[in-house]
Structure 1
């Protein structure tokens, strides 16, 4: 299986219908902003991934019109809402059909509220680069960053492929059909303070999906 790196491609519009980190999530009309199950506060929007990109760039199915994955995580009291856990309710991975998507209204926080912002500080567009068939994610990451004019900070993660676990293998089973779910995206924390996501400090995040069951799971390790 090839490794498809996601690299920084500048900025884009906050509501662009592209794979990106940051910005505003797109969803069907009437979709509510996800809330944390522990603190009841609004979660922070992290990333949007077009599953069509899996077919175009990662060799995982060529069907067009696949769902859009939206990733959220609580940052209202980092570490206290178990936001790394796929089942604790401190994060959310949602699959949306591509038809008639529109921006979800962003929650307005009270000036006296100590909750963290629900949007990242900047939007990052994504470019894809396919590594050699023998390169795993770690090797592909290193080889890409060694080339002149590049920096490891510009590697945003990988699309599809095999997860590069920092700890134990936590590949989830679909809660509906119980089959093993496939990796959609592995994410680095980000290239700078404005774009950074909090995965515990140099952590890695992993999002999986079972498209037939419209189920998705998100977790991170550090």
Structure 2
């Protein structure tokens, strides 16, 4: 069984649901993330609702390809785990590529399949485009790059695989989290 993330249509940019694009929801006082390489404001990619918490994903798009936004540890992307309660929308900075052009609900749908990611495995499901996978096992395009947690040093758990929601070089993006330390990581492969 695999849980696909389907394009569930447009939504409000601050909706507290799993979505690609819009504005990030974060705790009061949280500042918009900046790229460790170019210092520009990062682009908000996804809000992944896990029930008791959310994973917010950001990636540098100020100089695509110059900052190492594909690497989990290089500083060109960031992911955060926030408690699901008392989150407020962040105002986007005026400079930089900070928002996706569209906002789409990521609707979770279990399907009878071993994995997501093999070429031509999935077309639209119930008329909705497949935008990724929630949980399960990642389908690596190159090699396993599961990150270790910076807090406890253990391997992080897989949260989601994203496809077609942002510029991932024609590949897939992967979000991970350490539930014990409330830390997250993000990377992509093509």
Deviates most, 7-16 or 172-181: 172-181
- Bigger Rg over Cα: 1
RMSD of aligned alpha carbons: 1.8
Q: 1:176 matched to which residue of 2?
A: 151
Which protein is richer in helix relative to its size? 1
The answer to whether residue 114 in structure 2 is matched with residue 135 in structure 1 is yes
Q: 2:138 matched to which residue of 1?
A: 163
CA distance in 2, matches of 1:174, 1:19: 23
Query: Secondary structure of 1:184's partner?
Result: strand
Between the two proteins, the alignment pairs up a number of residues equal to: 190
The answer to whether residue 47 in structure 2 is matched with residue 51 in structure 1 is no
After TM superposition, the structure 1 = structure 2 runs for residues 52-131 of structure 1, keeping only pairs within 5 Å, are 52=51, 66-109=52-95, 115=96, 117-131=97-111
The answer to whether residue 10 in structure 2 is matched with residue 11 in structure 1 is yes
Q: 1:220 matched to which residue of 2?
A: 188
Q: For residues 41 and 3 of structure 1, do their structure 2 counterparts lie closer, same or farther at Cα, with a shift above 3 Å needed?
A: same
Q: For residues 138 and 88 of structure 1, do their structure 2 counterparts lie closer, same or farther at Cα, with a shift above 3 Å needed?
A: closer
Return 5+ residue gaps in structure 2 as ranges.
Answer: none
Moved over 6 A (4+): none
Contact kept in structure 2, 1:141 and 1:155, CA below 8 Å: no
Which of the numbers 198, 202, 214 marks the counterpart of 2:167?
198
Q: 1:23 matched to which residue of 2?
A: 22
Distance apart, 1:138 and its partner CA: 3.3
1:61-95: CA deviations, max 9, x gaps? xxxxx211100000000111101011111000011
Return 5+ residue gaps in structure 1 as ranges.
Answer: 53-65, 110-114, 191-196
Q: 2:178 matched to which residue of 1?
A: 210
TM-score by length of 1: 0.81
Distance apart, 1:220 and its partner CA: 0.3
Query: Secondary structure of 1:41's partner?
Result: coil
Query: Secondary structure of 2:117's partner?
Result: helix
